[in-house]
Chain A
Amino acid sequence: SQTIHQWPATLVQPVGSPLSLECTVEGTSNPNLYWYRQAAGRGLQLLFYSVGIGQISSEVPQNLSASRPQDRQFILSSKKLLLSDSGFYLCAWSVGRDTEAFFGQGTRLTVV
């Protein structure tokens, strides 16, 4: 069966520090991978999605970047965090063209 792992579950980082959140998927090949952010009391905002290794689409201009070094690994990074980067970050995957997305458990990031 397919599973998605996302870590860490919670993170407190000072302003200006770097960030690396990792997401891996097991049990499937060539998944579509996504990073979403959920600000407090808000809906989900798509940040990045990837349809293959090294292929990253950015949805909104921001302080973050994403990379996909392996087929089932998706990394969200920042060189210098801002206070506004605080939120709940969710990784998700899907396969094919018309299927639902499956979500990880999320990382709650607090920038202080």
Chain B
Amino acid sequence: GEDVEQSLFLSVREGDSSVINCTYTDSSSTYLYWYKQEPGAGLQLLTYIFSNMDMKQDQRLTVLLNKKDKHLSLRIADTQTGDSAIYFCAELKNTGRRALTFGSGTRLQVQP
């Protein structure tokens, strides 16, 4: 299977919480990232977590890492219409290859 997997689509109502999930296969990954891509634009780094952490919170964003299950999630509290975008999970493997491996992205649609 793919190195990093995400569900393709998520729809929520404005004000609700969004949870975007990601699974990865390489247990030696050192860092895991969440990027946001708005239509026609490049990728914007939202947050990242080091592999020895379980949780990281940054304002409305909460990242949870279950290293045993190789599962990463991004929770967006009080989701706004401006949060509508594609969200990419990425891992940095502990190899000589200094490049991120990305998931296929989850399209978040926020309904007003």
Among the 9-residue stretches A60-68, A70-78, A99-107, the one with 4 or more Cβ atoms under 8 Å from chain B is A99-107
- Asked if B102 CB lies within 8 Å of chain A CBs, one says yes
What residues of A have a CB within 8 angstroms of the CB of B105 in the complex? Answer: 42-44
Cβ of A106 and Cβ of B42 under 8 Å apart?
yes
- Asked if B44 CB lies within 8 Å of chain A CBs, one says yes
Interface size of A by Cβ–Cβ distance < 8 Å? 25
Interface size of B by Cβ–Cβ distance < 8 Å? 23
- Asked if B21 CB lies within 8 Å of chain A CBs, one says no
Which secondary structure dominates chain B's binding surface? strand
- Min Cβ gap B16→A in Å is 25
| Residue among A43, A57, A94, A101 with most chain B CB within 10 A | A43
Assembly CA distance A16 to B74 (angstroms):
43
Among the 9-residue stretches B57-65, B77-85, B92-100, the one with 4 or more Cβ atoms under 8 Å from chain A is B92-100
- Indicate which residue in A43, A49, A90, A108 contacts B99 across the interface (CB closer than 8 Å): A49
- Indicate which residue in B4, B42, B45, B98 contacts A90 across the interface (CB closer than 8 Å): B42
- Indicate which residue in A6, A36, A59, A102 contacts B45 across the interface (CB closer than 8 Å): A102
With A43-B88, A43-B104, A90-B42 as known contacts, state yes or no: A98 contacts B30, CB within 8 Å. Answer: yes
What residues of A have a CB within 8 angstroms of the CB of B44 in the complex? Answer: 103
Chain A residue at minimum C-beta to C-beta distance from B33? A100
Cβ of A49 and Cβ of B98 under 8 Å apart?
yes
Assembly CA distance A106 to B45 (angstroms):
15
Assembly CA distance A105 to B101 (angstroms):
19
Cβ of A97 and Cβ of B98 under 8 Å apart?
yes
**New A-B pairs, 18, CB < 8 Å, besides A43-B88, A44-B43, A100-B48:** A6-B42, A32-B98, A32-B99, A34-B99, A36-B102, A43-B103, A49-B97, A57-B97, A59-B99, A90-B42, A92-B43, A98-B31, A101-B100, A103-B42, A103-B43, A103-B44, A104-B42, A106-B42
* Residues in B lying within 8 Å of A, measured CB to CB: 4, 30-31, 33, 35, 40-45, 48, 88, 92, 97-105
